[in-house]
Amino acid sequence: MPRGDTVVMPGDHAVILAESDVVEETITRL
């Protein structure tokens, strides 16, 4: 599991929780 200083690399799988009204925007930014 990541910490604040973990650098996320292209190809990594991210598990994200988002409130329903921002899900689409979250996916777009990711």
Q: How far is the CB of 3 from other proteins (least distance, A)?
A: 7
Q: How far is the CB of 25 from other proteins (least distance, A)?
A: 5
Q: How far is the CB of 2 from other proteins (least distance, A)?
A: 5
Compute CA 30 distance to the chain's CA centroid, rounded to the nearest angstrom: 6
Residue 14 CB contacts under 8 Å (≥ 6 apart), including other chains: 8, 30
Binding to other proteins in span 1-30, by CB under 8 A: 1-27, 29-30
Compute CA 19 distance to the chain's CA centroid, rounded to the nearest angstrom: 13
Chain contacts with other proteins (rule: CB under 8 A): 1-27, 29-30
